[in-house]
Amino acid sequence: FGIKGPLWFNDPAWSKPSLVLLGIWVMGDIMIIFLAALLDVSREQYEAASLDGANGLQKVRYVTMPSIAPVLLFAAVTGVIAAIQYFTEAAVASSVASGKAVVGQGISTNLGYPDGSLLTYTQWLYVRGFGTYQLGYASALAVLLFVVAALILILLLRRFRAFTPEGAQ
């Protein structure tokens, strides 16, 4: 059409939302797992809930959610782990947007382009460890990343316990 598209990753105001959209775009595989879990919920359970007088929201709360709780937990845990180690997508977007996407050269010179808006925690850790060779500092950042990930996952596990049949009393 001859229309020039927006430079999503070159504008600091739009680069973070574009990176978030890129992260959402790759969630198709977990949607297939959700669909399989929803199709696996027994129709007899829904019929029994209807006979007990449950409305649509009550069926979701008391039939669907407990039935797919393990799948929700799997999706939440893998999603948190993927979000915490979000590196490659931001690194590729930075190098392509900066115009310095050359095979075989280091990527630490253009990480976070433009204006540091695409710099993630794992990229900062990488630059500290392998760009400036501050390995002790990078190791401390990695331990901090592990502690934060462990705390988030422990909170998730405790929260999802309420959706299991044993925890929902």
pLDDT tens digits, residue range 42-92?
Answer: 999 999 999 999 999 999 999 999 899 899 999 989 988 888 888 888 888
pLDDT band at 7 (very low <50, low <70, confident <90, very high): confident
Instruction: Yes or no: say if 155 and 76 are a contact pair by the CB < 8 Å rule.
Output: no
Amino acid letter, 68: I
Quote the CA–CA distance of 116 and 66 in Å, as a whole number. Answer: 42
- In this prediction, residues 112-126 reach a mean pLDDT of 85
- For the whole model, what pTM was predicted? 0.74
Instruction: Yes or no: say if 120 and 15 are a contact pair by the CB < 8 Å rule.
Output: no
Is residue 169 classed exposed, middle or buried when 0-12, 13-18 and 19+ CB atoms within 10 A define those classes?
A: exposed
Q: Which two tokens stand for residue 166?
A: 């044993």
Greatest alpha-carbon span in the chain: 67
pLDDT band at 166 (very low <50, low <70, confident <90, very high): low
Instruction: Yes or no: say if 68 and 37 are a contact pair by the CB < 8 Å rule.
Output: yes
Quote the CA–CA distance of 25 and 19 in Å, as a whole number. Answer: 10
- In this prediction, residues 152-169 reach a mean pLDDT of 75
- In this prediction, residues 119-131 reach a mean pLDDT of 88
pLDDT band at 24 (very low <50, low <70, confident <90, very high): confident
pLDDT of res. 32: 94
pLDDT of res. 159: 85
Report the share of the chain in percent with pLDDT over 70.
Answer: 89
Quote the CA–CA distance of 154 and 96 in Å, as a whole number. Answer: 37
